[in-house]
Amino acid sequence: MHVFYTPDIEDGAGAYALNEEESRHCSKVLRLGIGDQVSLVDGRGGLYQAEIASETKRQVTLKVISTTLAYQKRNHHLHIAVAPTKNIERLEWFLEKATEIGIDEITPIICAHSERKVIKEDRLVKVITAAVKQSLQAYHPQLNPAISFADFIRKESGAQKMIAHCIDDTSRTYISDIAQPHAAYLILIGPEGDFSPAEIDSALQSGFKPLTLGNTRLRTETAALAACFELNYLNR
């Protein structure tokens, strides 16, 4: 079943018109015609089954057959703040995989050891949206603007705050040792070269708990996904 991302559909709408670009994609690329069925996700939890009611070159209109609101609503809120990787494809890969596995919010943080300090937000959102459609997620993860590490950790957060770092000390615990179930979590993942000692200190002073993700040396994007897997696992 083909999936369209329709953030502008009204909750419980009975009909929807695809925009010109998606209308062309629907009729010319997918070769769908009147009566064919498609799925719509609105990114706010709405999943719609619809069928093509009318079709012109410029506009495909859909009749909604069934509606599910709060489809697969998650029982926790996972926010991962991760330093953009030098090779942006690695961050894009993380965004795709985290969307498949389950994530609510991502913030790119610029750290002392960050080699990459700028990102193209719109491109990253496209990666997330493609994964939302491919994995049939009704909720669209939120990508926040990039922000400096110092500004980010100063922000208030009601979440359980943790920082994964690579400095081998005994204070680090596994996520599973400290995470409360069905809660909100905020996890910091550092750049290639890890967080600086000063960043780690300031995070700990801001109430972040130090984490280890295992005894192997993980790349930034692998560490971020490992945290995503572990928290989704703990909230099954």
Query: Site residues for a second copy, window 205-234 (CB under 8 A)?
Result: 214-219, 222, 225-226, 229-230, 232-233
DSSP string, 152-193: HHHS---SEEEEE-----TT-B-HHHHPPTT-EEEEEE--TT
Q: Is there binding between residue 102 and a second copy (CB under 8 A)?
A: yes
94 near 201, Cβ under 8 Å?
no
Nearest to 231 by CA among 124, 44, 73, 74: 74
Measured distance CA(59)–CA(63) in Å, rounded = 13
Measured distance CA(6)–CA(41) in Å, rounded = 6
Among 15, 29, 118, 136, indicate the residue that binds a second copy (CB under 8 A): 136
Among 17, 30, 69, 101, indicate the residue that binds a second copy (CB under 8 A): 101
Site stretch for a second copy (CB under 8 A), options 25-33, 98-106, 117-125, 180-188: 98-106
Q: How far is the CB of 102 from a second copy (least distance, A)?
A: 6
Among 86, 93, 147, 150, indicate the residue that binds a second copy (CB under 8 A): 93
Identity of the residue, 100 or 105, whose beta carbon is nearer to a second copy in the bound complex? 100
Q: How far is the CB of 90 from a second copy (least distance, A)?
A: 10
Identity of the residue, 181 or 233, whose beta carbon is nearer to a second copy in the bound complex? 233
How many residues contact a second copy, by CB under 8 A?
26
Measured distance CA(54)–CA(45) in Å, rounded = 26
Identity of the residue, 63 or 193, whose beta carbon is nearer to a second copy in the bound complex? 193
Q: Is there binding between residue 5 and a second copy (CB under 8 A)?
A: no
**Coil vs helix vs strand at 30:** coil
Q: 106 is written with which tokens?
A: 């991502």
Q: How far is the CB of 229 from a second copy (least distance, A)?
A: 4
Question: 3-state SS of 118-152?
Answer: CCCHHHHHHHHHHHHHHCCCCECCEECCCEEHHHH
Q: Is there binding between residue 68 and a second copy (CB under 8 A)?
A: no
Q: 66 is written with which tokens?
A: 């069934």
Q: Which residues bind a second copy (CB under 8 A)?
A: 72, 93, 97, 100-102, 134-137, 174, 176, 214-219, 222, 225-226, 229-230, 232-233, 236
